[in-house]
């Protein structure tokens, strides 16, 4: 199975719901800045609101990194609005909710379960050129963690801006000194 | 009065027989005396570093080590930066070589440490003429602090390059800092990835660098 890292976002046009308004969204909206495309199976379910709320709570952190979030389900934008009207949690969502009833986006990102007409829980981070920098796809019942996604965004931005000549540092005070390994003898 | 070397163990468990053999072969190339001057505290890492230096010193008659407490010699405190203990400066005989290690150069950092000893002992591989010319173009004093983790291979190469630049250009000093030992430093510079290079205390440059990239950076600094 081929991976999708580096895959270019393809042209699309869907309708979205954003804080009480309907408007079209295309690939141009998702380029020129970092974007998270966040698929979930359907509106009016139980795990989804907790994930979407988790993202709402971390939203300022994503904006501070110059990243917009787009949640996507296979519902229409009208259903998104109905859900927002019925739920204070959804009404407070600060990011656009895209409607994908034709499966255009879910197919493009490989998360559509055709027989159910629902999307797997897929998260895709696109760089400003619209290329996939990282992604994770969960089975239906497995939730995601917005704080961890924010950490990954920061790491992806760093590599995008500075190259990959770095190692992640996980500081553990009191760690034992690593046994030396003289493996750059060519330098000497 | 300086601490006696025999105040610390003569051998370090960090130097396994295979590494000892490799180091012995490298250090056999030393053409002049090299002194490892270490500022030690009462902490565990200082004791670990002292044993490490004792062990290394035993691998060549050209090597010696000297242990000092902070405050014993203000000149050394300033040169090696006594705020980050243990701090070990590499000297060509009595002359400060401007190559300093904070922490214990375990993991990948043993390479930079061995390179520093070879430089001070007149046994480093010669650099090509363009590189020497680039190093000579650095006309302003630069204090390079490379914050590393011991498992990071990008860090090891950068430390070796920075210290070679320091050895070749008297305006440059290069410190390796095992950032894991200094949480205040990690907090101050918000270090999440290594290497992170700090120039003259306030300019931070992330990521590994080749020798050419480093000299370009330093000449434009």
Tell me if A124 is assigned to some domain.
yes
Residues in B 74-93 with any Cβ partner in A closer than 8 A: none
Averaged confidence pLDDT in chain A? 91
DSSP classification of residue A170? -
Q: What is the DSSP code string of B159-186?
A: HHHHHHHHHH-TTEEEEEEEGGG-HHHH
Q: Do B115 and A173 touch (CB under 8 A)?
A: no
| B14 close contact with A: CB closer than 8 A | yes
For chain B, what is the radius of gyration of the CA atoms? 16
Residue A26 — very low, low, confident or very high, per pLDDT cuts 50/70/90?
very high
Where is A79: in which H helix or E strand?
helix A77-86
Tell me if A17 is assigned to some domain.
no
Q: Do B14 and A177 touch (CB under 8 A)?
A: yes
Task: Tell me how many domains chain B contains.
Answer: 1
Tell me if A174 is assigned to some domain.
no
Of the listed ranges A118-122, A180-184, B17-21, B207-211, the least confidently predicted one is: A180-184
The pLDDT of residue A177 is 82
DSSP classification of residue B140? S
Tell me if A130 is assigned to some domain.
yes
Q: pTM of the prediction?
A: 0.78
**Residues of chain A contacting B179 with CB distance shorter than 8 Å:** 169, 171
ipTM field: 0.77
Residues of A labelled as active-site residues: 48
Q: What is the DSSP code string of A138-156?
A: E-TT----HHHHHHHHHHH
| B206 close contact with A: CB closer than 8 A | yes
Residue A39 has pLDDT above 60, yes or no: yes
CA angle B215, B101, A181 (to 5 degrees): 90
Indicate which CATH number applies to the domain containing B70. 3.40.30.80
The pLDDT of residue B113 is 96
Q: Do A162 and B209 touch (CB under 8 A)?
A: no
User: What's the pLDDT tens digit per position in B12-53?
Assistant: 999 999 999 999 999 999 999 999 999 999 999 999 999 999
Phi and psi dihedrals of B142, rounded to 5? -130, 130
| B100 close contact with A: CB closer than 8 A | no
Considering CB atoms only, which of A178, A187, A188 is closest to B150? A178
| A139 close contact with B: CB closer than 8 A | no
**Residues of chain B contacting A186 with CB distance shorter than 8 Å:** none
**Residues of chain A contacting B14 with CB distance shorter than 8 Å:** 177, 179-180
Helix B129-136, helix B211-220: angle, nearest 10: 20
User: Counting runs of H as helices and runs of E as strands, what totals does chain B give?
Assistant: 8, 9
Residue written as token pair 């295309």: A26
Residue B1 — very low, low, confident or very high, per pLDDT cuts 50/70/90?
low
Rounded mean pLDDT, B185-199: 93
Residue B211 has pLDDT above 60, yes or no: yes
Q: What residues pair up with B38 in beta bridges, in sequence order?
A: B67, B88
**Residues of chain B contacting A167 with CB distance shorter than 8 Å:** 149, 151-155, 193-195
Peptide bond into B195 cis (omega under 30): yes
Supply the range of the domain harboring residue B191: 5-220
Rounded mean pLDDT, B201-216: 94
Question: Could you count the other beta carbons within 10 Å of the beta carbon of residue A170?
Answer: 10
| B207 close contact with A: CB closer than 8 A | yes
Query: How far is B120 from B108, CA to CA, in rounded Å?
Result: 20
- Strand blocks (E) in B48-94: 63-68, 87-92
Which among B77, B95, B87 is positioned nearest to B145, based on CA atoms? B87
User: What's the pLDDT tens digit per position in A105-142?
Assistant: 999 999 999 999 999 999 999 999 999 999 999 987 78
Q: Do A188 and B155 touch (CB under 8 A)?
A: no
| B107 close contact with A: CB closer than 8 A | yes
Tell me if A54 is assigned to some domain.
yes
DSSP classification of residue B107? G
* Exposure letters B136-150 (e unless 16+ CB within 10 A, then b): eebeeebbbbbbbbb
| A1 close contact with B: CB closer than 8 A | no
The pLDDT of residue A175 is 77
Residue A185 — very low, low, confident or very high, per pLDDT cuts 50/70/90?
low
Task: Tell me how many domains chain A contains.
Answer: 1
Query: How far is B94 from A187, CA to CA, in rounded Å?
Result: 26
**Is the CB of residue A47 less than 8 Å from the CB of residue A79?**
no
Phi and psi dihedrals of A13, rounded to 5? -145, 120
Among chain A residues, CA nearest to B29: A188
The pLDDT of residue A130 is 97
Indicate which CATH number applies to the domain containing A45. 3.40.30.10
Peptide bond into B83 cis (omega under 30): no
Phi and psi dihedrals of A24, rounded to 5? -75, 150
Residue B180 — very low, low, confident or very high, per pLDDT cuts 50/70/90?
very high
Residue written as token pair 């992604």: A135
Where is A53: in which H helix or E strand?
helix A47-57
Of the listed ranges A61-70, A78-87, A133-142, B121-130, the least confidently predicted one is: A133-142
Considering CB atoms only, which of B15, B157, B191 is closest to A184? B157
Tell me if A155 is assigned to some domain.
yes
User: What's the pLDDT tens digit per position in A140-179?
Assistant: 778 899 999 999 998 899 888 877 778 877 777 677 888 8
Of B221 and A174, the structure prediction assigns the larger pLDDT to: B221
The pLDDT of residue A34 is 98
Query: How far is A150 from A146, CA to CA, in rounded Å?
Result: 6
**Is the CB of residue B84 less than 8 Å from the CB of residue B46?**
no
Tell me if A175 is assigned to some domain.
no
Residue A184 has pLDDT above 70, yes or no: no
Supply the range of the domain harboring residue A145: 24-164
**Residues of chain B contacting A178 with CB distance shorter than 8 Å:** 106-108, 150-151
Q: Do A187 and B115 touch (CB under 8 A)?
A: yes
């Amino acid at each position: 199975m081929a991976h999708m890292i580096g895959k270019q976002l393809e042209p699309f046009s869907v309708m979205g719901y954003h804080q009480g308004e309907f408007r079209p969204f295309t690939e141009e909206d998702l380029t020129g800045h970092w974007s998270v495309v966040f698929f979930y199976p359907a509106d009016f379910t139980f795990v989804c609101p907790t994930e979407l709320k988790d993202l709402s709570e971390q939203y300022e952190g994503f904006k501070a990194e110059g990243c917009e979030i787009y949640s996507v389900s296979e519902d229409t934008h009208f259903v998104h609005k109905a859900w927002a009207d019925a739920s204070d949690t959804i009404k407070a969502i600060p990011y656009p909710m895209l409607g994908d009833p034709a499966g255009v986006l879910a197919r493009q990102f490989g998360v559509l379960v055709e027989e159910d007409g629902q999307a797997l829980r897929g998260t895709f981070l696109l760089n400003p050129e619209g290329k996939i920098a990282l992604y994770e796809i969960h089975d239906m019942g497995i939730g995601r963690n917005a704080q961890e996604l924010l950490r990954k965004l920061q790491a992806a931005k760093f590599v995008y801006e500075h190259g990959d000549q770095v190692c992640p540092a996980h500081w553990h005070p009191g760690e034992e000194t690593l046994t030396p390994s003289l493996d750059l003898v060519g330098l000497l | 009065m300086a601490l006696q070397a025999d105040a610390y163990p003569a051998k370090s468990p960090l130097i396994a027989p295979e590494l000892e053999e490799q180091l012995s072969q490298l250090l056999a190339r030393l053409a002049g005396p090299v002194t490892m001057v270490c500022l030690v505290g009462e902490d565990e890492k200082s004791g670990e570093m002292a044993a490490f230096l004792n062990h290394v010193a035993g691998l060549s008659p050209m090597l010696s080590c000297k242990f000092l407490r902070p405050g014993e010699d203000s000149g050394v405190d300033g040169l090696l930066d006594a705020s980050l203990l243990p701090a070990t400066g590499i000297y060509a005989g009595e002359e400060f070589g401007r190559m300093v290690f904070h922490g214990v150069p375990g993991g990948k950092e043993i390479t930079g440490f061995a390179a520093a000893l070879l430089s001070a002992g007149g046994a480093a591989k010669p650099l090509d003429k363009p590189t020497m010319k680039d190093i000579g173009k650095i006309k302003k004093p630069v204090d390079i602090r490379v914050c590393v983790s011991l498992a990071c291979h990008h860090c090891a190469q950068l430390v070796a390059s920075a210290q070679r630049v320091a050895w070749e250009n008297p305006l440059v000093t290069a410190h390796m800092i095992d950032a894991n030992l200094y949480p205040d430093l990690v907090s101050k510079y918000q270090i999440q990835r290594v290497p992170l290079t700090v120039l003259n205390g306030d300019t931070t440059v992330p990521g590994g660098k080749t020798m050419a990239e480093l000299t370009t950076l330093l000449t434009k600094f």
